[in-house]
Amino acid sequence: MLTSIKKYVMKNTAIKKIGLFTSGGDAPGMNAAIRAVVRAAIYYGVEPVGIYRGYDGLVDGDFEAMDARSVSNIIYRGGTMLKSARSAAFRTAEGRKKAYDQLQSHGIDAMVAIGGDGTFTGANVFLQEFNFPAIGLPGTIDNDLSGTDFTIGYDTATNTVLHAIDAIRDTASSHNRLFFIEVMGRDSGFIALRSGLAAGVETILIPEMEMSIDELVQRLERNKKKSSSLIIVAEGGKSGGALEIAAKVKDKFSHYDTKVTVLGHVQRGGTPSCMDREIASRMGVAAVEALLKGERDKMVGIINNKIVLTPFMEVVNTPQAINLELIRVNEILNI
């Protein structure tokens, strides 16, 4: 069966060279995705070309031909071997024209873009202007892209947060402390919600379900008998970050030693989890096969464990819905 698929795709494609790049914030599993795209391209007789520094490298022509050995021993590494950047130049018509000229001069027929909504917006604009085919892979720890159940990097990030919360609880319970722990996620609470439930924190504050300071104080009053309390705060909420929220409630709980931990960019790094390596590998192969079958302007995702393709602008314009049932479950378990 594999041989017949390979023969069909190779016979019916005009694509001979595929460029690939990572853009926006880095995410664990991006290297596994790069490896999958490179080796899938070679499997189908297509030449892979790495583009360094995202859209900036596209504009500057920072390209390198890759082979199977180029991506050896990177599947377990965090970050991205192709580097990443946000490009001011690509936001201009002149910059995009220069990028197109670079692709033409290097004989590149199509692209695989690994990143988030900004990456896909750029690829969509590029298609409209130059009819240049691109397929995207969802590389972001935030898990805020529709069209996939999980983005590349999200599982690793939540596990990193979980380990940090477990360590913080040890010291919190030893000293009668109230800890506010801030996690990343931009404007979404996916990381906070999943890791907070798994860690058994007392309260989870996310942008999708705002809780007033008064409501938070009331909840903490009910938990006064506890030796310690952990509150996880997703960045981007209307009530502010962990430092601001902690300052507002500190005076009301004198029996607690109130502390704040902002986990920051530690959440972006680390060895990618088994799940992130698996979905990155599946998505990378699917991206190459989609391009060779004539697909373009779409993101590869996995929904209900099946590969799906969703148009870029549908992904960008339709926020991923968060599962608020997890909030209810957490409240039940923190009686």
CB 272 within 8 A of CB 76: yes
Which positions ≥6 away from 136 have C-beta within 8 Å?
112, 113, 114, 115, 119, 120, 123, 287, 298, 299, 300, 312, 315
Stated as kind and residue range, the H or E segment containing 20 is strand 17-22
Active site residue 142: yes
Residue in the structure block whose two tokens are 């909420």: 237
CB 127 within 8 A of CB 282: no
CA distances (Å), origin 126, targets 74, 97, 304: 29, 9, 31
Q: How far is CA 89 from the centre of its chain?
A: 23
CB atoms within 10 A of CB 137: 30
| Token representation of residue 104 | 């033409």
Active-site annotation holder among 109, 142, 155, 297: 142
d(CA 75, CA 89) in angstroms, rounded, equals 31
Residue in the structure block whose two tokens are 């996995």: 302
Strand order in the sheet with 257-262: 203-205, 229-234, 177-183, 257-262
> Active-site positions?
142
